[in-house]
Amino acid sequence: MRENRLRTLWAADRAAVNGWLAIPDSFSAEVMAHQGWDTLTIDMQHGVIDYAAMVRMLQAISTTATVPIVRVPWLEPGIIMKSLDAGAYGVICPMVNTREEAQRFVSYTSYAPRGSRSFGPVRASMYGGADYPSAANDTIVRFAMIETAQALDNLDAILSVEGLDAIYIGPSDLSLSLGCRPVFDDVDPKAAQAMDHIVERAIAHGVRAGVHNGRADVALARIAKGFRFVTVGSDARLLAAGSQSLLTEMRAGATA
């Protein structure tokens, strides 16, 4: 089966640099994939990407060695299984708040006898290889999002679920849940303390910790704290930032 380079990076205790895809277009996904990201996450929870666009974007990412990941809209078996059947090598599931929800998530992403995933890897077997059915359980990566006060209360129970590979912090939702400002980077002290606690407990359980960031300096600081999956920017934000930078330079020159 095709190597999941995310697992290879983690086996060497290296952090993966993840890009975020919010634009529902195969060409923009292909452009991003050719820049050298370790992984790219197609975001189906927020924004405007539907299933058909996701499939085309997975095909575009497949032109490179970048690992394709999908953030599904919710803990719902249908879309989780369809994302895997389409060739996602990792799934990020939002709002996992209890041990039972984490167990359901692992079950939906695993073939029997480990789980309840229905068999039908229509595109996944072409992407992963002929041995996909026998190797998928140990190849794909499962991220449960920890982003609420309830999840914090149940953190150790969630982290102890067998088969859960990683957790992913959404700083904005976590901050909101704790009564703080919804930001990625310069989070309020209460949210910062919670994030430190999450990564410490994840490491103690042997689960990899990921986090969403807006700036490279913040992502690097979080790697130093033990995070091994860091998202930095998205296609939409990079497009806007690049345009703003160029226009600012042009307009400053035009008025000089």
* For the chain, domain boundaries: 5-254
For 5-254, which CATH class?
Answer: alpha beta
Q: pLDDT digits over 108-162, tens only?
A: 999 999 999 999 999 999 999 999 999 999 999 999 999 999 999 999 999 999 9
| Token duo for residue 94 | 């939002």
Residue 138 CB neighbours (<10 A): 12
Q: Which residue has the tokens 């599904």?
A: 72
Q: Is the pLDDT of residue 255 over 90?
A: no
> What confidence category does residue 254 fall into, taking pLDDT thresholds of 50, 70 and 90?
confident
Q: What's the rounded Cα separation, in Å, for the pair 230 and 238?
A: 16
- CB under 8 A, 24+ apart: contacts of 252-255: none
In angstroms and rounded to an integer, the radius of gyration of the C-alpha atoms of the chain is 18
Measured CA to CA, the distance from residue 246 to residue 28 in angstroms comes to 19
Residues in the chain: 256
H and E: helices and strands count for the chain: 13, 8
- Which of 46, 197, 205, 212 does the annotation list as catalytic? 46
Q: Active site includes 46?
A: yes
How many Cβ atoms from other residues are within 10 Å of residue 217's Cβ?
A: 10
- DSSP class of residue 73 equals S
- Predicted local confidence at residue 2, as pLDDT: 97
Q: Is the pLDDT of residue 256 over 70?
A: no
Question: pLDDT tens for residues 177-200?
Answer: 999 999 999 999 999 999 999 999
pTM of whole model > 0.95? Answer: yes
